[in-house]
Amino acid sequence: MASVATITMNPAVDISTSTKTVVPTRKLRCEEPTVQAGGGGINVARVVKRFGLDPVAIVATGGSNGIRLVAAVEAEAIVVKAVPVSGMTRESFTVTDRTTHDQFRFVLPGPVMHAEEAAAIFAALDELAPRPDYVVLSGSLPPGISPGSCLKVGAQVTAMGARLIADGPGEMLTACQHAYLVKPNEVELEAYVGRPLPDLAAQAMAARAMIAAGVAENVLVSLGEKGALLVATEGVFHYRAPAVELVSAVGAGDSMVGGIVAGLATGQSLVDAVAQGTAAGAAAILTPHTELSRIEDIERLRPAVTVERLDL
């Protein structure tokens, strides 16, 4: 079984609650909040753990919120490599309107990270023993850190003999080089090529442009309700998840990446691992607040995921 490490440079203490209705000006009385550790890499590690693997989460942490965050991750029996930063770890706040079922998600920018702090994160990756087989760089970048840092991560992971999986804002993905897999969404892919992409054929061509530029060996395009498009060395594949009742969309993308990484780490092909990730993303929609996908839901939904090979 392969080993997994995740990197979260801009984690958050995720606070979620609900109120009867969201209106301006008035005080909104909320229910007891749920508090969880959040941030792309942390969430991926939490899902990977649910598949019976033992990921290591490298996390930038600062202040009392950083202490809360590490405790929450460790409570799920995940090994944490905390890298201290001078600023306070941010909070994110999600409120569900119980009348309309709309979600309002407030995401703060996080503390400014200095170059020496980013270097300490990369050093923590180098110090892992044993060396990971898969490294996941996921989530937003903190203020002060340029997307060019992703070039360093890509070179570092390649030198380690590992595979990099990157999922973050578009500028981070396009700054990557030599990743094994990147996961832009439809808007980010259009921004990369500078034109609208009206159909799967156009999206596949744009993904091939990312591959030709050396960004990644494989590109997985998130298409929302239209599923996902994998452009890989094995071919082009369109995935669709079964329709499920929306409870909360928070964490669906991270759950998808977690399902993919867990599949790869247990010997699945990329094509099959993405199918498992598609089920994991759908399963996350069934859970409330900022909770991630549950393994029993993933296993139940996996047979209903459709995979179509496209002749493009």
Examine residue 297 and state whether it is found in any structural domain, yes or no.
yes
Local confidence band at 247 (pLDDT 50, 70, 90 cut-offs): confident
Catalytic residue among 14, 167, 254, 297: 254
Per the domain annotation, does 26 fall within a domain? no
- For 123-150, b/e burial (b = at least 16 CB within 10 A) is ebbeebeeebbbbbbbbbbbeebebebb
Does residue 254 have an active-site annotation?
Answer: yes
Number of H helices, E strands in the chain: 10, 14
CA 157 to chain centre: 18
Is the pLDDT assigned to residue 172 strictly greater than 90?
no
Domain carrying residue 169? 4-21+31-310
Domain count, the chain: 1
Average pLDDT, integer, range 210-228 = 93
Residue 89 placed within a domain: yes
Question: Which CATH number fits the domain that encloses residue 163?
Answer: 3.40.1190.20
Record the pTM.
Answer: 0.94
On whether residue 266 sits in a domain, the answer given is yes
Q: For residue 242, what pLDDT is reported?
A: 87
Sheet holding 103-107, edge to edge: 34-38, 12-19, 90-97, 103-107
> What is the pLDDT averaged over residues 164-186?
90
Give residue 248's identity as a one-letter amino acid code.
S
Q: With CA atoms as reference, report the closest residue to 135 among 119, 152, 123, 153.
A: 153
Mean pLDDT of the chain, nearest integer = 93
